Copies of this chain bind each other. A is one copy, B any other.
Amino acid sequence: MSTVSRALEARTRRMGKQTLRFRLTPAVVAAAAVVGPKEGQGPLGEYFDIIKQDDLLGEKSWERAESRMMAEACRVALRKAGAALGDVDYLIAGDLLNQITSSSFVARELKLPFLGLFGACSTLAEGMAVGAMMLDAGYARAVLVAVSSHHCTAERQYRYPTEFATQPPPTAQWTVTAAGAILMATKGDGPAVTLATVGRIVDAGIKDPLNLGAAMAPAAAATIRQHFEDTGRRPDDYDLIVTGDLANVGKEIAAELLSREGMELEDRLFDCGSSIYDPSQGVEAGASGCGCSAAVFTGYLMHGLLTGRYRRLLLTCTGALFSPTTYQQGETIPGIAHAIALETQDAPGQ
């Protein structure tokens, strides 16, 4: 490559300040969702690949159950694509547990070269961004991106022992028991990943780990706004602007923040955390967890992309980057969001 073409290449992969542009448009070749019983009983139940009948999956700990869900999601995604583990170059994974042990145990089982991420509930989009870079630039031909969360592992780690049966406030969100896996490749059919906007942290000053929607909403709004600024696109270029797990409280805040900047998203704004459960399921403000956006994207939204209901989606996964140590020490909860543009092959401008 000449110096000129190198410089040109460098220029065309950056858009604005925070956005990565994938010129070879890596495809989501297959995606799979494995969920717990409560998620299976929710309004999106029919879209998930596997619904478990109990939260333990027959294992002796919830942690083992969570790892097993993630490994199963990886295997189902491969099966749907007619691919084998040997076709995959890298596993990119993360979860909510301390030291992302669910992901590490899956990496051990699948024996794939492994990049571990932590982005709390933003990890799916973070992983898709890293995976798309690897594919687009030619470092890999196929990657698996996987994330998980489990209500019982997360609740006892982040808040109270589950046996306490504490009364949650109306702002609380129910951590989803689910794993999602995405097989992305440079060759193969499926929605293309065309852009990724990597988020900055926005800290809204929230100190309450039972009000994460409010902690993450300003970060979601900032990343969505930055995506449009960087790319020159407009909200109506997308069929849906998806947020990960703001739930009802956070979604309203994000909509209000975007509205103040002149973006009236209305029905175009779709939050996974407000959608995976029915209000009758006793989940307060809605859902949260890496598994929330993962299951809703790999199940429901992928179905919409594959059936032509959606042609362009902006998937904005939102994360609250706190630990029990930090909130007990009085620190506020930093929020982050990363956004991924997904487009079907017949989307306008493709």
- Given the interface pairs A118-B118, A329-B61, the reply to whether A203 lies near B108 with Cβ below 8 Å is yes
Q: Is the CB of A199 within 8 A of B113?
A: yes
Closest B residue, CB atoms, query A200: B113
Contacts of A126 in B (CB 8 A): 115-116
Closest B residue, CB atoms, query A60: B329
List residues 291-350 of chain A with CB under 8 A from any CB of chain B.
321-326, 329, 331, 334, 336
List residues 117-137 of chain A with CB under 8 A from any CB of chain B.
117-120, 126, 129-130, 133-134, 136-137
Give bound CA distance, A97 to B325, whole Å. Answer: 10
List residues 213-253 of chain A with CB under 8 A from any CB of chain B.
none
- Given the interface pairs A130-B130, A201-B111, the reply to whether A63 lies near B326 with Cβ below 8 Å is yes
User: By CB atoms of chain B within 10 A, which of A18, A99, A116 has the most?
Assistant: A99
Closest B residue, CB atoms, query A24: B6
Total interface residues on A, CB under 8 Å, equals 67
List residues 47-85 of chain A with CB under 8 A from any CB of chain B.
61, 63-64
Give bound CA distance, A129 to B98, whole Å. Answer: 23
Contacts of A23 in B (CB 8 A): 1
Q: Is the CB of A334 within 8 A of B108?
A: yes
Q: Is the CB of A14 within 8 A of B115?
A: no
Q: Mark A241-284, 1 if CB is under 8 A from B, else 0.
A: 00000000000000000000000000000000000000000000
Closest B residue, CB atoms, query A10: B138
Kindly state whether residue A100 has any CB partner on chain B within 8 Å.
yes
Kindly state whether residue A44 has any CB partner on chain B within 8 Å.
no
Partner of A118 from the list B13, B64, B100, B136 (CB cut-off 8 Å) is: B100
List residues 158-216 of chain A with CB under 8 A from any CB of chain B.
186, 198-201, 203
Contacts of A336 in B (CB 8 A): 104, 107, 114
Contacts of A20 in B (CB 8 A): 139
- A70 vs chain B, min Cβ distance (A): 14
Closest B residue, CB atoms, query A326: B101
Ranked nearest first, the 3 interchain pairs of A and B with the lowest CB-CB distance are A137-B137, A10-B138, A104-B321
Q: A98-B324, A104-B334 are in contact. List 6 more A-B contacts (CB 8 A).
A: A90-B198, A99-B322, A105-B334, A115-B130, A133-B134, A133-B139
